[in-house]
């Protein structure tokens, strides 16, 4: 294996190559002090390089994996299928929207929602932050939420309003389906719901990237976080970014880290995006911002748009969902089916 594939800094790599160490084989034969004098680094750094080299070449054929699979660390499609059957989804409180999503927002995936200003992206984000806390008895996940706010559009009074509406809906639901009054005491209180939303405000793109890097450690300590909402991922990357190539690199790295978080901790990541115009085939069309490379950084993409007077959602990209669109509305109680009165609730 080549030295170029080790995760070490460019200067150390240059020194190793200049001294003639091009393969890991040659490094692993040298002792730390020998290596340190040869390439001119401290002995600690030489030890670190040897550690990396031995980690990667400790895939020793003599130890070998006899009856394990050809490559470790993966799952068969069959195990994943069985796991998927038991996965709960996060409802959006709008039955039509849930239908096209196959039940709601899936955990382990990154979903991107984008639309013109005023279409309801932040409203959906807040609704999801509340809905993730619905207890398992009512078909929810019973988890906490992380809300990362880049624009300052998170209004606590609105969250309280949506939380109260959600609790009322749950007690009404349990009244229909449970006989005794004691059973349907909903143990949630609006303040409790507010307590389970971790709110972060970021004011620049460096803060945004630093926060995404920090989330790994944060979620290790708060294992019941089940959704991360980034509202909006575009804001700090749009204006005044001189170096577009740097922007692409930063965004793709951030996307990979979010994907890793979603997979590692089995949570849902929801990214809210803005729109821009693009010149395609002779006309200007609205597309999601951040460019072509970013459009590949999510698992599912849903575009929100106005259809006459109604708000619609359209599944633009998904590996497993059909392309479909559904109507929804933003009411005082949160996101609901369009043209339905607030009293009529459809909860799964």
**Rounded to 5 degrees, what are φ and ψ at 270?**
-115, 120
Q: Distance of CA 26 to CAs 14, 35, 42, 149, 262, Å?
A: 15, 10, 19, 50, 39
Q: Is 213 in the site for another protein (CB under 8 A)?
A: no
Q: Distance of CA 10 to CAs 4, 20, 71, Å?
A: 9, 16, 30
Nearer to another protein, 320 or 332 (CB): 320
The minimum distance between CB 309 and another protein, in angstroms, equals 22
Q: Is 155 in the site for another protein (CB under 8 A)?
A: no
Nearer to another protein, 15 or 333 (CB): 15
Q: Is 86 in the site for another protein (CB under 8 A)?
A: no
Q: Is 291 in the site for another protein (CB under 8 A)?
A: yes
Q: Is 51 in the site for another protein (CB under 8 A)?
A: no
Gap between the terminal Cα atoms of the chain: 54
Give the Cα separation of 76 and 343 in Å (integer): 46
The minimum distance between CB 320 and another protein, in angstroms, equals 4
Q: Is 181 in the site for another protein (CB under 8 A)?
A: no
Q: Is 88 in the site for another protein (CB under 8 A)?
A: no
Q: Is 67 in the site for another protein (CB under 8 A)?
A: no
Q: Single out the residue of 159, 202, 255, 275 in contact with another protein (rule: CB under 8 A).
A: 255
The minimum distance between CB 85 and another protein, in angstroms, equals 9
Give the Cα separation of 305 and 314 in Å (integer): 8
> 3-state DSSP call for residue 199?
strand
The minimum distance between CB 80 and another protein, in angstroms, equals 4
Evaluate whether 300 touches 113 at the Cβ level (below 8 Å).
no
Neighbours of 198 (CB within 10 A): 17
Task: Provide the CA 281 distance to its chain's centre, in angstroms.
Answer: 32
Q: Is 237 in the site for another protein (CB under 8 A)?
A: no
Give the Cα separation of 114 and 246 in Å (integer): 23
Nearer to another protein, 109 or 169 (CB): 109
Neighbours of 153 (CB within 10 A): 17
Q: Single out the residue of 15, 108, 144, 336 in contact with another protein (rule: CB under 8 A).
A: 108
The minimum distance between CB 262 and another protein, in angstroms, equals 6
Per-position DSSP letters for 16-45, written without gaps between them: HHHTT--BHHHHHTS-HHHHHHHHT--HHH
Q: Is 260 in the site for another protein (CB under 8 A)?
A: yes
Q: Is 203 in the site for another protein (CB under 8 A)?
A: no
- Tell me which residues touch another protein (CB under 8 A): 1-2, 4-5, 7, 10, 13, 19-23, 25-26, 29-30, 56, 59-61, 64-65, 69-78, 80-81, 84, 108-110, 245-246, 248-250, 252-253, 255-257, 259-260, 262-263, 279-280, 291-293, 295-299, 301, 316-317, 319-320, 322-323
């Amino acid at each position: 294996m080549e030295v170029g594939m080790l995760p070490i800094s460019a200067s150390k790599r240059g020194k190793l190559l200049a001294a003639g160490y091009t393969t890991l084989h040659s490094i692993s034969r040298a002792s730390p002090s020998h290596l340190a004098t040869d390439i001119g680094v401290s002995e600690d750094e030489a030890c670190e390089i040897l550690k990396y080299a031995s980690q990667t070449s400790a895939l020793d054929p003599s130890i070998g994996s006899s009856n394990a699979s050809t490559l470790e660390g993966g799952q068969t499609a069959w195990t994943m299928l069985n796991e998927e059957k038991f996965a709960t989804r996060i409802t959006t409180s709008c039955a039509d929207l849930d239908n096209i999503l196959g039940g709601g927002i899936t955990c382990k995936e990154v979903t991107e929602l984008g639309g013109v200003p005023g279409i309801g992206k932040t409203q959906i984000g807040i609704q999801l932050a509340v809905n993730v806390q619905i207890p398992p008895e009512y078909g929810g996940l019973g988890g906490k939420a992380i809300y990362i706010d880049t624009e300052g559009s998170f209004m606590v009074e609105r969250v309280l309003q949506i939380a109260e509406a959600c609790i009322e809906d749950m007690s009404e639901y349990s009244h229909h389906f449970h006989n005794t009054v004691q059973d349907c005491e909903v143990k949630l209180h609006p303040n409790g719901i507010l307590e389970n939303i971790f709110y972060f405000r970021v004011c620049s793109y460096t803060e945004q990237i630093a926060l995404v890097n920090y989330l790994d450690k944060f979620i290790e300590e708060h294992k019941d976080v089940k959704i991360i909402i980034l509202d909006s991922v575009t804001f700090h990357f749009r204006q005044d970014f001189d170096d577009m190539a740097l922007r692409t690199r930063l965004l793709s790295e951030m996307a990979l880290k979010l994907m890793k978080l979603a997979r590692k901790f089995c949570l849902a990541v929801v990214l809210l995006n803005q729109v821009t115009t693009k010149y395609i085939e002779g006309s200007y069309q609205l597309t999601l911002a951040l460019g072509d490379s970013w459009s590949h950084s999510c698992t599912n993409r849903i575009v929100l748009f106005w259809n006459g007077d109604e708000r619609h959602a359209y599944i633009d990209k998904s590996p497993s969902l059909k392309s479909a669109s559904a109507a929804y509305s933003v009411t005082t109680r949160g996101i609901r089916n369009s043209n339905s009165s607030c009293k009529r609730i459809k909860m799964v």
